[in-house]
Structure 1
Amino acid sequence: MKILVTGANGLLGQHLIRQLVEEGKFTIHATGKGASRLPYGSGNGVTYHNTDLTDFKKAQALVEKISPHIIIHAAALSQPNDCAADKTACWKTNVGATRALVKGAQKTKTYFIYLSTDFVFDGEEGPYDEHASPNPVNDYGESKLLGEEIVEMSGLHWAIVRTVLVYGEKVPGGRANFVLWVKEKLEAGEAIKVVNDQQRTPTYVEDLAKGIILVLMKHAKGVYHISGKELCTPYQLALMIAQLMNKDASMIQPVTAETFQEPARRPLKTGFIITKAVKELGYVPVKLEEGIRRVLHL
């Protein structure tokens, strides 16, 4: 079975491809910008394509050439501030590339799995299940919601996997996620300010990858919320990290989102209710403390 994974060089992409390789059932095609950061060659059943997915014709042609059974579209411009600063890049990456891949998938009749975000919600009534009505408050959320709509209206067999605040071990060339950022600051003895007026259900990247594989194995259709179970603020998460590392928690100062005056507004309370994924997919995430221990090698 041939699978095309976009965003292969990112945190999720690298962990997902490793798990797919370990399954031993797939021929994997991976796309990313620039050189491959994957530790696999063609001998592992992984073929890498350096492709700019915002080039509509190239993205569509790649799908038609590979003719995959499944596309897992994980590539995105996922930093809300970056999306606010460059709206054109945001929409070309999150909407245009999705439209191009869907166009190719319609010709190859490919099963399409689209990665989305809790930021499609406004944060007024979280945590959310799959029946909640989206209402994004920033460009990132708006672009991802439009991507969802493109997939839903494609006529393809599709699944949308939404997730929240993904953390995990750093991958080659990847940027630090929240857990690693806190770890690095605490190890350096630097004081940090962390928001305490937003709530999320943090997601261990290994769990997210497993959830996606459960979706594809069951050929599931519809929207699935894949995250951790435990709701917390980033400040509370940072305190847990400090405690597990035996570091001085007084170095972490709780603040509100207004402290940073970021260009992109964040929803206050998101997080997910994952009952559907648990019942229909058999998805079981690790506890938050266990996920952090694994990332910190504790």
Structure 2
Amino acid sequence: MKTILVTGSNGLLGQKITERVLATKQFNLIATSKGANRYPIKEGYVYAEMDILNASNVEEIVGKYKPDAIIHTAAMTNVDTCEAQKELAYELNVKAVETLIKESEKLDVQLIHLSTDFVFDGENGPYDEEAPTCPVSYYGETKVAAEEALKKSNCKWAVLRTIIVYGIVSDMSRSNIILWAKAALEKGESINVVNDQWRMPTLAEDLADCCLLAVAKNAQGIYNASGKDMMSISELVYKVADFWNLDKGLIKEVSAATLNQTAKRPARTGFILDKTIHDLGYNPHSFEQGLELLNQQLLSLETV
């Protein structure tokens, strides 16, 4: 049985990977994150505190557990924060990857790295894996730099690019566009939503499955790992309102230019998923199925 080490295990994707491993018992899991373990179940895997910005700490933990694969989910993903705090963004999104590359080369570990649709400018999405990168934000630049570091390395690497990951964790400590829209509309608040950006939102469970498929299949190279339904951000929010029978009159469509966001966003991204479906057996839920699963999880939290 392969041993996998996950960075950022307290995050949404990290917790979903833990959940999947415990359900399938397919791998031995070393979950790592900064600070205490926030996953509610503490048995059935090992948790180790690890700061990905501390190279000697990473060397110590990876050297101790000698995993067959590392799934690197930790990153600074807030696009505007990356633009405002470039030095920290570079440390987290590039330097940390270089540290993991070094350890992976040393111990012959497969390194699976999470990347993003923001490596593209959004001029002609949806994109396949061969499309040339052209980021329009500093966040996108750091993710391209990390991909390039992997391509130049001597380790066995796979990059999984994803788009708007949504889902819930049991303590509800992680928000996303769906939970934000649902909460605001339930409170009767009006919300501004962009109508000139298109995405393919990704259910966190699907992305966790794709990470584990990449380990199981010993994947190498770049793979697209998003949801399969393309929609504008405003369309996404309307779907959320429809699903939970909320007031769509509270949704105000605006153009991205009116929001004055720190970082520029690509207009239309989206992915062609054929390679990942064919090579890895990836089978993402539809957006409606994703909302249904989310609803079931929210209802089960209420009954606990």
TM-score range, shorter chain: over 0.9
Is the 8 Å Cα contact of residues 117 and 162 (structure 1) preserved in structure 2?
Answer: yes
Q: What residue in structure 1 maps to residue 9 of structure 2?
A: 8
- The residue identity in structure 2 corresponding to 1:179 is I
1:213 pairs with 2:212 = yes
SS in 2 for 1:78: coil
Q: What residue in structure 2 maps to residue 279 of structure 1?
A: 278
Taking only aligned residues, the RMSD between alpha carbons, in angstroms, comes to 1.3
Q: Deviation string for 1:198-253 (max 9, x for gaps)? A: 00011111111111111111111111001111111110000011111111101001
- Cα drift, residue 105 of structure 1: 1.2
Q: Which runs of 5+ in 2 are unaligned?
A: 300-304
SS in 2 for 1:149: helix
For residues 124 and 27 of structure 1, the distance between their equivalents in structure 2, rounded to whole angstroms, comes to 42
Deviates more, 1:107-116 or 1:59-68: 59-68
- The residue identity in structure 2 corresponding to 1:24 is K
For residues 70 and 204 of structure 1, the distance between their equivalents in structure 2, rounded to whole angstroms, comes to 23
Distance 1:272 1:20, change over 3 A: same
SS in 2 for 1:193: strand
- The residue identity in structure 2 corresponding to 1:65 is K
Q: What residue in structure 2 maps to residue 103 of structure 1?
A: 102
Q: What residue in structure 1 maps to residue 127 of structure 2?
A: 128
- Mapping of residues 248-267 of structure 1, within 5 Å: 248-267=247-266
Is the 8 Å Cα contact of residues 198 and 232 (structure 2) preserved in structure 1?
Answer: yes
Q: Deviation string for 1:69-108 (max 9, x for gaps)? A: 1000010000011101111110000111111111111111
Is the 8 Å Cα contact of residues 77 and 93 (structure 1) preserved in structure 2?
Answer: yes
Is the 8 Å Cα contact of residues 198 and 267 (structure 1) preserved in structure 2?
Answer: yes
For residues 211 and 288 of structure 1, the distance between their equivalents in structure 2, rounded to whole angstroms, comes to 17
SS in 2 for 1:239: helix
- Cα drift, residue 22 of structure 1: 1.6
Q: What residue in structure 2 maps to residue 86 of structure 1?
A: 85
Q: TM-score by structure 1 length?
A: 0.96
For residues 69 and 40 of structure 2, the distance between their equivalents in structure 1, rounded to whole angstroms, comes to 22
- Cα drift, residue 172 of structure 1: 2.8
- The residue identity in structure 2 corresponding to 1:63 is V
- The residue identity in structure 2 corresponding to 1:176 is S
- The residue identity in structure 2 corresponding to 1:188 is K
1:35 pairs with 2:40 = no
- The residue identity in structure 2 corresponding to 1:161 is L
Q: Which runs of 5+ in 1 are unaligned?
A: none
SS in 2 for 1:290: helix
Q: What residue in structure 2 maps to residue 52 of structure 1?
A: 51
1:161 pairs with 2:177 = no
- The residue identity in structure 1 corresponding to 2:124 is E
Q: What residue in structure 1 maps to residue 238 of structure 2?
A: 239
For residues 177 and 157 of structure 1, the distance between their equivalents in structure 2, rounded to whole angstroms, comes to 32
- Cα drift, residue 173 of structure 1: 5.9
SS in 1 for 2:241: helix
For residues 15 and 169 of structure 2, the distance between their equivalents in structure 1, rounded to whole angstroms, comes to 10
For residues 65 and 256 of structure 1, the distance between their equivalents in structure 2, rounded to whole angstroms, comes to 51
Identity across aligned pairs (percent)? 42
For residues 171 and 110 of structure 1, the distance between their equivalents in structure 2, rounded to whole angstroms, comes to 31
Is the 8 Å Cα contact of residues 15 and 169 (structure 2) preserved in structure 1?
Answer: no
- Cα drift, residue 59 of structure 1: 1.7
Is the 8 Å Cα contact of residues 37 and 173 (structure 1) preserved in structure 2?
Answer: no
- Cα drift, residue 171 of structure 1: 4.1
Is the 8 Å Cα contact of residues 166 and 202 (structure 2) preserved in structure 1?
Answer: yes
Deviates more, 1:23-32 or 1:225-234: 23-32
Deviates more, 1:163-172 or 1:233-242: 163-172
Q: What residue in structure 2 maps to residue 172 of structure 1?
A: 171
Is the 8 Å Cα contact of residues 168 and 174 (structure 2) preserved in structure 1?
Answer: no
Number of equivalenced pairs: 296
Q: What residue in structure 2 maps to residue 114 of structure 1?
A: 113
For residues 60 and 50 of structure 1, the distance between their equivalents in structure 2, rounded to whole angstroms, comes to 13
